[in-house]
Amino acid sequence: MKKLTIVIMLFISKLVLADRHNIEQSLEQCLAKTTTISTLDSIDCYQNALKLWDNELNKQYQLLITDKKLSPQFKVALKKSQLAWIKYRDLNLETINHFYDN
């Protein structure tokens, strides 16, 4: 089972790296545009990249959660870890926002 999990994670990481290149390339192109002149323009570029990353994360999560080869225990643990990560992410961003509000 461990070998199967490792193979699956390696395969997914290869897919993510390919998409990572496309997302990062899109971000760089957006930032390099002659129409991207203000901070707000740059923020828009980063927000679009963030949406693409969020879509990619959701796509990879769905691939794992619907994979019939993976055990129900793995799927429960995956879901639990992802919910914990989302909670951490949100609290971390909240803390950063409070810092900059001062």
Please answer whether residues 63 and 14 qualify as being in contact, where contact means their C-beta atoms are separated by less than 8 angstroms. no
Which residues constitute the domain of residue 101?
71-102
Tell me what the mean pLDDT of segment 1-27 comes to.
Answer: 65
Q: Is the pTM of this model over 0.75?
A: no
* Residues 18 and 60 placed together within one structural domain of the fold: yes
pLDDT at 66 over 90: yes
* Predicted confidence (pLDDT) per residue in 21-34, tens digit: 799 999 999 999 99
* Residues 58 and 88 placed together within one structural domain of the fold: no
What total of structural domains would you count in the chain?
2
pLDDT of residue 6: 58
* Residues 42 and 11 placed together within one structural domain of the fold: yes
Q: How far apart are CA 86 and CA 19, in angstroms?
A: 21
